A and B are shown apart, each in its own frame.
Chain A
Amino acid sequence: MITAGIDMGSRSVKVVLLEELDVNGAPQLKYGVKKAYIMMPGDMDQDVAAEKAYDEALAEAGLKREDVSAVFATGAGRKQVAFAKEGVTEMTAGAKGAVFMYPAARTVVDVGAEEGRGMKTDAEGKAIDFAGNEKCAAGAGSFAEAMSRALQMSLKEFGEASLQSDKSIPMNAQCTVFAESEVVSLIHSSTPKNDIAKAVLDAVASRVCAMVRRVGIEGEVVLIGGMVHNAGFVSSLKNAMGVDTISLPDMPEYISALGCAMIAAERQH
């Protein structure tokens, strides 16, 4: 059986086509990913973007729509996926996917483009508590992106630069717009770019960590979402949370779509 999970994020559409495997006695590998596909929508119509991303993912996997038993959607724009049978929130989908990848995970941190959130999960991957940032991008990837632009660096350079710094410069502003002016002040005072990058990522990590503390930090911590690619942020988050390790999936943007496809599969039984 093949199911699809579509994560309609605020910046990108992620599609996972999941195949349920027939594996006698294997404890973990009950599923295999047929295709993981990401697309940056070229227009504002999320329903058009969902259709396009889904069709392209199917084509790349060599599948037709009738091969898929159920399509479930998640993410901020999940209501726009008209062809989805059901939808689940990104908290439920993210926790499910993360625990599938890391069975010992009990704390899942999801930092995407527009929102950061922390989830507490049980052993089955069911989200049992969660917290998110409220109406502010200062705990999310778009904040880091805006700050890297202010420093005229790519996101990758930005993350790597922060790792070169051992300074702790506090950023007081909680708001993206004011934080940018704080960055400009640091530039004017000739603060090295590496130190500014670290200050920014420490600030993001601190906000994310404060959110996660609302649900409590327990068990293995998994970070999902696009910010996993930012090594500087991961380092800052470890420091902020006071944990030695944070598990990082190889394809972190797809974890919510994966969880969504798994829930779709389980609801067919």
Chain B
Amino acid sequence: MADGLFDQFQNWYEKRHDYARDWKARTGGQVVATMCTYTAEELLIAAGMLPVRVLGAHEPQNVTEPHIFGMFCPFCRDSLAQGLLERFDYAEGVTLTQSCIQYRQTFSSWRSNVPTVQWDYFVPMPNEVQSPHARKAHYAEIQAFRVFLQALTGKELTDEMLREALAVVDENRRLLRELFEYRKEANPKVTGCEALYASITAQFVDKREHNEMLKKVLAALPTRQLNRPEGVRFMTIGSENDDLAFMAMVESVGSTIVIDDQCSGTRYFWNQSKPEDDVIKAIADRYCDRPACPTKDYPVHTRYDHVLGLAKEFNARAAIFLQQKFCDPHEGDYPDLKKHLEDNGIPTLFLEFDITNPIGPFRIRIEAFLETMSDEELF
């Protein structure tokens, strides 16, 4: 938008590798490539590190075939490609917290084949977070991660350091939710593209800097005027999505994306930690309590009502499934989640995403979807 309010977020996104290199030069800290939003960033921040989530580049690549199958999801393939192409050559470490098996293979290939990686760590977080044993198990894994980082850096990670890091991360979560609140309004002051720039950059920018920028934006929002038609209010649903070209196209044809259930958006920051005397418990439980990824949403499917609740709360007229091709966990949820939404008056559109997406054909589908919902009596 012309007022440039979100330009810093966009600039961070577009030059994220430059940002990480610059951060490293000015702080002397280590950069850690993280591979899932279940990663307890609080520990890395407390250890003076910069967690940087590995994102794809949305460009054709030919380097992953020897390492992972072509029928693994495009996000996993694109994420591995970025490592193999040494786009993250500034990152000393790489870490994954267990989510899906395809991501696990990406992580394994990263640590085996990306030459600049000096250390790696895998957090085997339970997938069945609803189990009565899950919290205890995850507590132990977070504690083990702490011990590993202490040994790696040769410095103690005190409870005080962890509390300070947790406060910074929780503040980031709170500020992002404040920002997203503006999307509930009619003709929202924040577009879907802008919201995505804000939420995705939180996954690789120093949280303290990110918080300061969010505060500046939040201070300016009450008087902001966006001179654009609202159109149809959409929700997006899926795994990771940072295809800004797609988002911009959707918002250019008569719609506004007002909310999401994606790990590049709300699933990453929706809940804060709960007060606990034991800071490790506070950190560990927060990840068990967060809005679930389909890999961690059984035996009870908590997602369905959570997604419907978001759609209603943000007054979404319809939902678009951004299905990463071959993403089994999300595709498994799709039929029932689609039915759940449609039974409750939210029509849906299914689009299959790949590393690169065909904007032209997708535009036709979005426009046709809008036409099916048109209130105008054409006929």
Q: Which residues of A come within 8 Å of B, CB atoms?
A: 76, 88-92, 96, 115, 124-132, 134-135, 214, 263, 266-267
Contact = CB atoms under 8 A, between A and B. Distances in A.
A172 B10 CA distance: 45
Specify the main secondary structure of chain B where it touches its partner: helix
Given A91-B372, A126-B379, A130-B368, 18 more contacts: A89-B368, A89-B371, A90-B364, A90-B368, A91-B364, A91-B371, A92-B371, A96-B379, A115-B361, A124-B379, A126-B378, A131-B350, A132-B361, A132-B365, A134-B352, A134-B361, A135-B358, A214-B350
Given A134-B352, A135-B358, A127 B371 contact: yes
A76 B361 CA distance: 8
B379 A266 contact: yes
B284 to A, nearest CB: 40
A89 B367 contact: yes
Contacts of A129: 372
B361 A135 contact: yes
B333 interface: no
Interface string B339-367: 00000000000101010001011001101
10 contacts: A76-B360, A88-B371, A90-B364, A91-B371, A92-B368, A92-B372, A127-B368, A127-B372, A129-B372, A263-B378
B361 A130 contact: no
Contacts of A266: 378-379
A142 to B, nearest CB: 14
Contacts of A135: 354, 358, 361
Nearest to A92: B371
From A91, A127, A134, residue with most partner B Cβ within 10 Å: A134
- Which 7 A-B pairs rank lowest in CB-CB distance, beginning with the nearest? A89-B368, A91-B368, A124-B379, A92-B371, A134-B352, A89-B367, A89-B364
Contacts of A267: 378
Contacts of A92: 368, 371-372
A136 to B, nearest CB: 10
Name the interface size band of chain B.
10 to 19
A31 to B, nearest CB: 13
Specify the main secondary structure of chain A where it touches its partner: mixed
A140 to B, nearest CB: 12
Nearest to B353: A134
A86 to B, nearest CB: 11
A127 B368 CA distance: 8
Nearest to B373: A128
B352 A130 contact: no
A225 to B, nearest CB: 15
A263 B358 CA distance: 28
From A89, A129, A132, A263, residue with most partner B Cβ within 10 Å: A89
A89 B368 CA distance: 6
B323 to A, nearest CB: 10
A134 B74 CA distance: 15
Interface string B2-43: 000000000000000000000000000000000000000000
B277 to A, nearest CB: 52
A266 B358 CA distance: 32
Contacts of B352: 134
B59 to A, nearest CB: 16
A90 B363 CA distance: 12
Contacts of B378: 126, 263, 266-267
A263 B379 CA distance: 7
B361 to A, nearest CB: 7
Nearest to B352: A134
Nearest to B366: A89
Contacts of A125: 379
A125 B372 CA distance: 11
A131 B184 CA distance: 30
Nearest to A130: B368
Contacts of A88: 371
A96 B358 CA distance: 26
B13 to A, nearest CB: 26
Contacts of A89: 364, 367-368, 371
Contacts of B360: 76
A172 to B, nearest CB: 15
A89 B364 CA distance: 6
B202 to A, nearest CB: 31
B255 to A, nearest CB: 14
Contacts of A263: 378-379
Nearest to B347: A129
A168 B43 CA distance: 60
